[in-house]
Chains A and B, each alone.
Chain A
Amino acid sequence: MKKESRSKTEVSVSLKKYSLEAVRYAAHAASSAARVFIRTSGRDAAVVEFEPTGKLPGAKIAAAFKAELEDEALRASVYEANRELRDFMILKALSASEAAQKPRQDDSGLTPEQEKELDALIAQVESEIKQEAAAGASADPLGITKTWEDKYGAKKSRKKN
């Protein structure tokens, strides 16, 4: 699986066993110690070449890459098994916090002129409502403003003596 030439080290990875994505991420983890080049070799293999940039020898970097590749395969299975569950949990948390959120106060997104117009409009509507209420205050044909007691007298106690 491993081939060394001068300072470079190559590792061949079976793409039947690992996805190319897993190879890429595991290789990226090794990029702090080496320049990494990835190429495919036929349909079923990838070759990862490490050119060390520091003191760590190629063989050690390759070993760390292989360990990372195993972990990356595990991460993929953990992710796949939990994707929906994780989405559900975060959605549950987020939706609960949305419900608990207070109504917004400031920042209407309007310009000062638009805000003035809106204030004038609200004032006009409020004054119309007041006027209507004042005009109809005495007229209450259905007796809506009367209490139950006013209309039918006080409720009699059903308590037995």
Chain B
Amino acid sequence: MALKKAAKRTEPAGPPQLLWRRDGAECLVTNDFGHYAWLKRKDFDLLLAGRLGEKHPAYAALADKGFIRDRLDFDGLAAKWRSKNAYLNSGPGLHILVLTLRCNHKCLYCQSSAAGVGSKDTDMSAATAKKCVDFAFQSPNPGITIEFQGGEPLLNWEALKAAVLHARAKAKKAGKDLRLALVSNFSLMTEEKAQFLMENEVSICTSLDGPADLHNRNRVFCGGNSHAATVKWLKFFQARHARQVPEYRVFKPSALLTVSRYSLGRHKEIIDEYVKAGLEDIFIRPLAPIGYAKNLWGQIGYDAAAFGKFYLESLDYILKLNRAGVTLREKMASMMLDKIVNSRDPGYLDARCPCGAAIGQVAYNYNGDLYTCDEGRMVGWEGDDAFKIGNVRQDPYRKVMTSGAARACVLSSNLESQPDCARCAYKPYCGVCPVYNYETQGSLWGDMAVNDRCGLFKGTFGALFAMLKKPANEAILKKWVAK
């Protein structure tokens, strides 16, 4: 919408709503609408004093972005805010079904605190799986994603099959957009199972921690070679994706990277392994001291600075590969860039305000217990049900959504009431995690001044904004989120 010319004024307009971060001779300014700009210190002072004149070269761009107080496009900016915060009205979209706690791997960092292959008492029954699907469909969200996790979900194939078929039938009736996803280590995958998954349009995600020696060191599989199974089935699903059939869509498989202490310094080998496996996305995820990883933190953990260094080196290397024509994107950076560049919500539940706990996702334990998120479920497995929000057999949807734990997570992850976050220039794009705070700092609120997760996020945002300043990098990064 074209802006009307401002009336001639005699008084300065006053400072606009903005947050800032001083960086040498410049300032990064951001606002509620997700816009940002880099300003020289002198211009920043003029802007805050409401004295940045119309003839200033940055004036028009700043006015477009809502940084000039008496030139605000109310409708346009309100629409921007709505699109950025669209999730506030939609209810939980992600539903994580933990089909079993059993696993045939003993990963060093396993957060899901997996049980041995023999303990079938931690399997979800087919009836409970269907109940979970029914519960998920009560969410007012028009798009429902059901993610099957474990343990290793393929160890409970019957419940997985029942839930997939029930969900597909239910989606048809309810007219909802349903996405199904399986997170598996592939060790139990067969062609028959793969066929069923493809026919029912279940997307596939696995873990790939790098080259064989590193992957197998992190992801211990007593029954064989974890890396070999992962690569074999990645190739299988890629081949099927390449030759689509008319009856159903075959999704491109994806993989997650969990960075342990053993990964540090090996970013190039890890990224090359992803390229070799034909993957176009890599999700570089730090370890969180939750569940099993908490006990082994001294052995496999690291501080925010060490991860930050690894992450930045990885981003630099990915950009170098991009310049050489290789297609590869880093997932966390992509999601943050989507917010920064497009003012769009990429559905990254860990970086929302309030966080996705309960209002964006629900984790369903094998016995039907409901948790705010998968991390909350892991805390429950350690004997602390602080994040339990109900049970799928006993509690109606409304009671679950308004449970004490759900409300506590919403309140504590509202960045407006987090003293450091409310002042941070990265606030329009960021989010805190009450479970992480609870596990590492003993309270849902945490203390961001000394919070490692906050340190990681600040490092990542700092790197992305610095990269966006360079036109060559900016063009590549914008391509990552140009969909």
Contact = CB atoms under 8 A, between A and B. Distances in A.
Nearest to A74: B48
B347 interface: no
A89 B15 CA distance: 16
Interface in B72-96: 72, 74, 77-79, 81-82, 85-86, 88-89
B423 A98 contact: no
Given A105-B140, A107-B397, A85 B17 contact: yes
Interface residues of B, number: 35
B412 to A, nearest CB: 17
Contacts of A153: none
Contacts of B5: none
Contacts of A107: 138, 140, 396-398
B78 A75 contact: no
A158 interface: no
A29 interface: yes
B17 A82 contact: yes
Interface in A84-127: 85-86, 89-90, 92-94, 96-98, 101-102, 104-107, 109, 111
B449 A32 contact: yes
A87 B17 CA distance: 11
B398 A97 contact: no
Given A29-B449, A78-B18, A90 B32 contact: yes
B398 A89 contact: no
B420 interface: yes
B88 to A, nearest CB: 7
A86 B416 CA distance: 13
A7 B82 CA distance: 50
B16 interface: yes
Interface in A122-147: none
B82 A97 contact: yes
B74 A92 contact: yes
A82 B138 contact: no
Contacts of B442: none
Contact of A106 (B15, B72, B397): B397
Interface in A21-72: 25, 28-29, 31-32, 71-72
Given A31-B449, A78-B48, A107-B138, A93 B396 contact: no
A101 B87 CA distance: 12
A154 interface: no
Given A78-B48, A92-B78, A106 B138 contact: yes
A78 B15 contact: yes
B12 to A, nearest CB: 11
A82 B89 contact: no
B429 interface: no
Contacts of A81: 14-15, 69
A107 B16 CA distance: 43
B224 interface: no
A92 B74 CA distance: 8
A75 B423 contact: yes
Contacts of B419: 25, 28
A26 B142 CA distance: 44
A31 B48 CA distance: 27
Given A105-B140, A109-B398, A97 B77 contact: no
B421 to A, nearest CB: 12
Which of A31, A82, A93 has the most chain B CB atoms closer than 10 A to its own CB? A93
Nearest to A30: B449
A89 B88 contact: no
A90 B48 contact: no
B137 interface: yes
B221 to A, nearest CB: 41
18 contacts: A25-B423, A29-B420, A32-B450, A74-B15, A77-B15, A78-B18, A82-B15, A82-B16, A82-B17, A86-B32, A89-B32, A90-B32, A92-B74, A93-B78, A98-B89, A104-B140, A105-B140, A106-B140
Given A97-B88, A107-B138, 7 more contacts: A31-B449, A74-B15, A77-B15, A82-B17, A89-B74, A93-B79, A94-B82
The 8 closest A-B pairs by CB, nearest first: A82-B17, A93-B81, A93-B78, A32-B449, A92-B78, A107-B397, A81-B14, A106-B138
